[in-house]
Amino acid sequence: MAVYAKRVNRDNPIFKGRENMVIGVGFKDTIPVPDDVTLCNGCNENIEEGYLVYLSQSSLNHNEPYDFYCESCFKRYFPKAKVV
């Protein structure tokens, strides 16, 4: 299975207008996520630039990333990824 990645910054349209959904017993709420909050899935740092990681050619073609990583975490967890 090939893993792909795109280097992007927080100005990328994919980070605009996001929401986090919180669901519990008897309630459901959405919390807006500011456009300038782009957390690395590895170290949880708020980063300016990083890599959107795609786990298949299909997810890359449909721009459906698995997650977003800083350069250090990307190199650690996906050393064989193809940067496109």
Domain that holds residue 67: 4-83
Q: What is the pTM of this model?
A: 0.84
Which position has the higher pLDDT, 52 or 26?
52
Average pLDDT over residues 38-62: 96
Average pLDDT over residues 24-49: 90
Do the Cβ atoms of 30 and 62 come closer than 8 Å? no
Could you identify the residue written with the tokens 């709420």?
A: 29
Query: What is the pLDDT of the chain when averaged over all its residues?
Result: 92
| Torsion angle of the four alpha carbons 23, 25, 28, 34, in this order, in degrees rounded to the nearest 10 | -40
Count of the separate structural domains present in the chain:
1
| Percent share of the chain, pLDDT over 70 | 100
Average pLDDT over residues 17-24: 82
pLDDT recorded at residue 30: 86
